[in-house]
Amino acid sequence: MVQSLLPAAAVPDHTALRARLGPAAEVVAGLWPDWPAGHGTSRLVCEYLLGRSRGWLDISGRPPKPEQAGSPWTARPVVVIDDADGAMLAAATVTGAEITAYWDDLRGERRGSAVAGLLTEAGLPQPHIAAELGHVGAPGGPEIFPPGCRVVLAAPKATAALREYLQAAAGLAEEFIVVGREKHMSTAINEELAEVFDRVDVSPGLAKCRLIIGSHPRGGSSAGPAEAAPVFPRSDIRPLRVPGAAPLEVAAYGACYGGTQIDHGTDVLVTSLIDHRAKLTPAAGSPDSAGLTVADLGCGNGWLLANLQGLLNPATSIGIDVSKAALASATATLSTGNPDVQLVLADASAETDPALDALAGSCDLIVLNPPFHTGHTIETGTAHAMIRTAHRMLKPGGRLVCVYNSHLGYRGAVERTFGASRQWARDRKFTVVTAVRGA
């Protein structure tokens, strides 16, 4: 682990590094006064790009060997992907390159777009934000990779997400840089990059973070977009739990959590819904479930929503997710036999979201299998916020059915919001509770 990638004579301390950001320094100071402390990945990106552009570092992030001294730096458009808070976007301005930014997660996109606006106000060229235009790997998705670009990707939790971005960038990206905490950087990243690039380098560690860099693309970056058959979405035949229902072809893009697998908690939830089928009636009290409006808050690959349709034949089905890859996956999964499904990109963990505000008080039934992590970080605040959102979306008399890892104790959060709950199921790992919104 090194103290800095950069020569001390040129950049002796954090103050000097912040100064190298130029107009972005004011934005960074306003948002993150202690930067680069606590922002290991953006610091590493900043030092690496700055060092490369000044000739202080070679492509591996180390001082160049004598025979490499004076080798030219090639200015390239930079594509920043899945930057959690906008700090990597700010760091990437250090080279003055044209920047495109893309996020799979709507929350990151909104935070990053706000940072981009501040950078523009500070006098920097406006980054291109590929905002809410669909999933980059799906048909009709945004084209975010300029020819010959340099890609900076926050290390994804799933290797499949990296594989999909590499597929989308094939024939266009000259360099592909993956940055993350060392404990999250497996050799699988090296292997994926080596499938596309002839050279793969690993940077020195800095602030418990590291870069893995792919360069020298096979076939060259001037070849244009790759014509190979797409790897995504992947699909597998999965059984539905509803009695008599035919198996379903479940599709998943790379960044869709869990891929085509059926999460055990979701399976427990579906079984519980089947066992309590008689209680799943419209909030107005009609015994006819065909009048139901149902929503899956965090719909993932669409398997749970398909079970709901088979079980209840509702009038309206709504799938909601914060991930573009998840919505693209659900779209592919539900593309046949489910023409009336509404799929909505929205942040159910926010206090307000325009798409969900429009659905307030509209649902008879909401099912929820909330996450207990954001990226690599374990947390419960997102689940608590989603429970509150479910309450806002339900009609008076509408029902929430929620499954969770038993040790997380989400029943308390349900009761704080709804006032009372009942346990419908529990196994060695998961608990299902239900609650009804009052008048």
Q: Is the peptide bond before 36 cis (omega within 30 degrees of 0)?
A: yes
Alpha helices in 34-105 (DSSP H): 40-54, 87-92
Tell me the C-alpha to C-alpha distance, in Å, between residue 425 and each of 143, 275, 334, 339, 416.
45, 9, 27, 32, 20
pLDDT at 309: 93
Tell me the C-alpha to C-alpha distance, in Å, between residue 363 and each of 296, 309, 352, 401, 429.
10, 15, 17, 12, 29
pLDDT at 67: 73
Measured between alpha carbons, how far is 357 from 299 in angstroms, rounded to an integer? 18
Helix 106-121 and helix 24-31: axis angle, to 10°? 130
User: Which domains does the chain possess?
Assistant: 14-64+73-217 (3.40.50.150), 237-281+289-437 (3.40.50.150)
The H or E element that residue 332 is part of is: helix 324-333
pLDDT at 311: 94
pLDDT at 340: 76
Tell me the C-alpha to C-alpha distance, in Å, between residue 285 and each of 277, 297, 396, 421.
14, 23, 11, 19
Q: SS3 of 298, please?
A: coil
Q: Is residue 262 a contact partner of residue 303, using CB atoms and an 8 Å limit?
A: yes
Q: SS3 of 51, please?
A: helix
Neighbours of 435 (CB within 10 A): 23
pLDDT at 137: 84
Supply 7's token pair. 């020569």
Name the residue type at position 154.
Answer: A
Q: Which of 308, 234, 300 is nearest to 269 (CA)?
A: 308
Measured between alpha carbons, how far is 120 from 198 in angstroms, rounded to an integer? 37
Q: Is residue 103 a contact partner of residue 112, using CB atoms and an 8 Å limit?
A: yes
pLDDT at 66: 79
Measured between alpha carbons, how far is 409 from 138 in angstroms, rounded to an integer? 37
Note down pLDDT in tens along the chain; length 439 residues.
Answer: 679 999 999 999 999 999 999 999 999 999 999 999 999 999 999 999 999 999 999 999 999 987 766 566 889 999 999 999 999 999 999 999 999 999 999 999 999 999 999 999 999 999 999 877 789 988 888 999 999 999 999 999 999 999 999 999 999 999 999 999 999 899 999 999 999 999 999 999 999 999 999 999 987 655 555 555 568 999 999 999 999 999 999 999 999 999 999 999 999 999 999 999 999 988 766 666 668 999 999 999 999 999 999 999 999 999 999 999 999 999 999 987 666 799 999 999 999 999 999 999 999 999 999 986 555 566 688 999 999 999 999 999 999 999 999 999 899 999 999 999 999 999 999 999 999 999 7
